[in-house]
Amino acid sequence: MSPAFSTRTHWSIYLPALLVSLLWGALLVWADSQEPKLMSVRWLALVIEAFFVPALYLAAWLRARGNEFVLGDGLYIRQGGFRSEKFGVALAMVDSVSLRHSLLQGWLGAGTLDITLKGGRVVSLSDMGRARKAVEAFAEVSK
């Protein structure tokens, strides 16, 4: 049977790495255009662009491939990058699914899903796509 609803990490998880890349790239161009050339700033920008920006993209990619929310007869959750945690629970064991998001995430359609299980455990899935629809789908399925 196919799931009633499923979602994965939203593409906006890459925005912080993109912002760092653009800012340091602009600083590199600016430092290169000055007379005399600002070699220290230029080299610092090159090091950040060469080493830290790819590390940020890699970390975002690892997080992006690790998060999943699948709603069907039960709830299947996968989270994490390096050490991913996977588990499934019956819908009767889920107390609530709620949504938190920043203004930008709300505008882009992303958010953090907080899944509260009976017994008090809370599982948070950050930067999930179609987060509002996930909450609505859970409300519909759990009726």
CB atoms within 10 A of CB 29: 11
Tens-place pLDDT, residues 14-42: 999 999 999 999 999 999 998 888 999 99
- Distance, first Cα to last Cα, the chain: 20
Taking the C-alpha atoms of residue 82 and residue 66, their distance in angstroms, rounded to an integer, is 8
Tens-place pLDDT, residues 108-123: 989 999 999 998 899 9
Classify residue 109 as left (phi > 0), alpha (psi -120 to 50) or beta. Answer: left
Residue type present at position 89: V
